[in-house]
Amino acid sequence: MTIYHSVTELIGRTPLIQLHKLDTGPCSLFLKLENQNPGGSIKDRVALSMINEAERTGQLQPGGTIIEATAGNTGLGLALIAAQKGYSLILVVPDKMSREKIFHLRALGAQVVLTRSDVNKGHPAYYQDYARRLANELPGAFYIDQFNNEANPLAHRTTTAPELFEQLDGRIDAIVVGVGSGGTLGGLQAWFAEHSPHTEFVLADPAGSVLADQVETGRYHDAGSWLVEGIGEDFIPPLAHIEGVNRAWRISDREAFTTARELLKTEGILAGSSSGTLLAAALKYCQAQTIPKRVVTFACDSGNKYLSKMFNDDWMRQQGLITCPQAGDLSDYIALRHDEGATVTAAPDDTLSTVLARMRLYDISQLPVLENGKVVGIIDEWDLLRHIGGDGDRFALPVTAAMTRQVEFLDKRAPESALHAIFDRGLVAVINDNDRFLGLITRSDVLTAWRYRLQQ
């Protein structure tokens, strides 16, 4: 076995797997596992290429500071390599990025600056404009600018493309790609135009992005919004050379997330949200063919960065991406159903320390206290604050010492107006079906239900 001497030597040469358990029509569909790179994504290739080129040209000096705008994966690649090479790194990222990515970036030593994800290019809070402004203000900083850096597509022209060609013995009819910075598409196109000009490029685009419009009509209007991270844009990245694409598929967030979850269940591959978009488009392309073709797409990054979001049923329900059958009563507002095992609860003899740990672990602010399946109280952060009172020893007290016994019960058949009276008193509603506990309803739960009822 080969012994490596730096994690950067592990970038690239990723495996290729043929998918057999999904409906690929008459085609053979192959998935290149870029999630096997050491930073967990295809962007490791880009980060290494851009830093190496900046060093070669003298734009990046020893001990310098790199600044970049990123939706996450380029930042992780840059952080991995910057830590190895001794560079400081400041990353400006949109606030829709998953917590796992942010934690990972900070653990690698990067400074993370969050900015708004609901604004477009030209707004001062737009992540690329913000990063460029920051680089201009900080003496000696180097804005690596993946969106305009020719070393970005160079990474794919010199590594990804020839790897694919070799792995499939030069027989590739179509490659399905997404576009974020445009480097993957631009780099692959450049190499395949020379070595396999018959290979077709197919765009997988999040619904709301403008890129599919550009492919189909040659123009685009204002962008919408989407939850998929890392691909889709509100402008045409110059590195993408989108004019070389003549087929595009728009993929909704729901379909992207569902497809990525299905990939894990059927093929055992844990891949991220952009991978779900690419795979959904690749499956549509394959199923639309009338003759066998050899088609390639990518597992762009690892799904372990999305465990709190895309692979979390509760988050998917809150986003309206998983829908439960509607009963037409108050149970429709319950976000975490007790009969589905989703409610986080406390027992009367649990310690206050245990309760606080559960609140922090599950990112909630109150727990129902259950005894023999019945709700006997509610404990929230204010109860803990009031009873601990700065005395750490009181964390050993049982829940019964701090919980509120005045519980507002409602039968699921009660009118919605009954919730408002409870919320007016700053309380939460405990919903029962006769004597059976179903779950809690908070003001946030009602607002979430209303929002997604409107969208549907």
In one-letter notation, the amino acid at residue 344 is V
- Banded pLDDT at 320 (limits 50, 70, 90): confident
In this structure, is the dihedral angle defined by the CA atoms of residues 143, 145, 150 and 153, taken in order, positive or negative?
positive
Measured between its terminal Cα atoms, the distance across the chain in Å is: 55
Q: Residue 215: is its pLDDT beyond 70?
A: yes
pLDDT at residue 121, as a whole number: 81
* Measured distance CA(381)–CA(366) in Å, rounded: 7
* Measured distance CA(62)–CA(79) in Å, rounded: 15
Average pLDDT of the residues in 81-108: 91
* Measured distance CA(130)–CA(138) in Å, rounded: 12
Collect all residues with Cβ–Cβ distance below 8 Å to 306 and sequence separation of at least 6: 98, 100, 229, 260, 272, 273
Question: What letter does residue 322 receive in the DSSP assignment?
Answer: S
In one-letter notation, the amino acid at residue 88 is S
Distance of CA 88 to the CA centre of its chain: 25
pLDDT at residue 148, as a whole number: 94
- Banded pLDDT at 214 (limits 50, 70, 90): very high
- Banded pLDDT at 454 (limits 50, 70, 90): low
**Residue 178 · residue 204 · CB < 8 Å:** yes
* Measured distance CA(375)–CA(191) in Å, rounded: 65
List, by residue number, the catalytic residues. Answer: 43
* Measured distance CA(233)–CA(179) in Å, rounded: 8
Token pair listed for 48 = 């290494």
Nearest to 108 by CA among 138, 60, 73: 73
pLDDT tens digits along 342-396? 899 999 999 999 999 999 988 889 999 999 989 999 999 999 999 999 999 999 9
Could you tell me the CA-to-CA distances from 215 to 218, 236, 245, 333 in Å, in that order?
A: 6, 10, 6, 41
pLDDT at residue 444, as a whole number: 86
Distance of CA 192 to the CA centre of its chain: 30
Q: Residue 455: is its pLDDT beyond 70?
A: no
Question: What letter does residue 1 receive in the DSSP assignment?
Answer: -
pLDDT at residue 363, as a whole number: 83
- Banded pLDDT at 456 (limits 50, 70, 90): low
Q: Residue 144: is its pLDDT beyond 60?
A: yes
pLDDT at residue 72, as a whole number: 75
* Single pTM value for the model: 0.84
Beta-sheet strand order (sheet of 141-143): 111-115, 88-94, 65-69, 141-143
Could you tell me the CA-to-CA distances from 256 to 166, 176, 203, 367 in Å, in that order?
A: 29, 14, 14, 33
Q: Report the percentage of the chain scoring pLDDT > 70.
A: 99
* Measured distance CA(244)–CA(34) in Å, rounded: 23
Token pair listed for 10 = 């592990």
pLDDT tens digits along 263-305? 999 999 999 999 999 999 999 999 999 999 999 999 999 999 8
- Banded pLDDT at 178 (limits 50, 70, 90): very high
Nearest to 275 by CA among 11, 31, 104, 97: 31
pLDDT at residue 83, as a whole number: 95
**Of 188-192, 267-271, 276-280, 312-316, which gets the smallest average pLDDT?**
312-316
pLDDT at residue 279, as a whole number: 98
* Measured distance CA(262)–CA(379) in Å, rounded: 38
Count of CB atoms situated within 10 Å of the CB of 370: 17
pLDDT tens digits along 9-43? 999 999 999 999 999 999 999 999 999 999 999 99
Could you tell me the CA-to-CA distances from 74 to 126, 257, 288, 364, 432 in Å, in that order?
A: 17, 21, 33, 31, 48
pLDDT at residue 313, as a whole number: 85
* Measured distance CA(228)–CA(80) in Å, rounded: 23
* Most confident range, picked from 154-158, 385-389, 421-425: 154-158
Q: Is 390 left (phi over 0), alpha (psi -120 to 50) or beta?
A: left
Q: Residue 323: is its pLDDT beyond 60?
A: yes
Beta-sheet strand order (sheet of 294-299): 16-19, 28-33, 294-299, 174-177, 200-206, 247-251
Count of CB atoms situated within 10 Å of the CB of 378: 21
Helices (H), 252-351: 253-267, 273-287, 313-318
Nearest to 231 by CA among 96, 119, 53, 390: 96
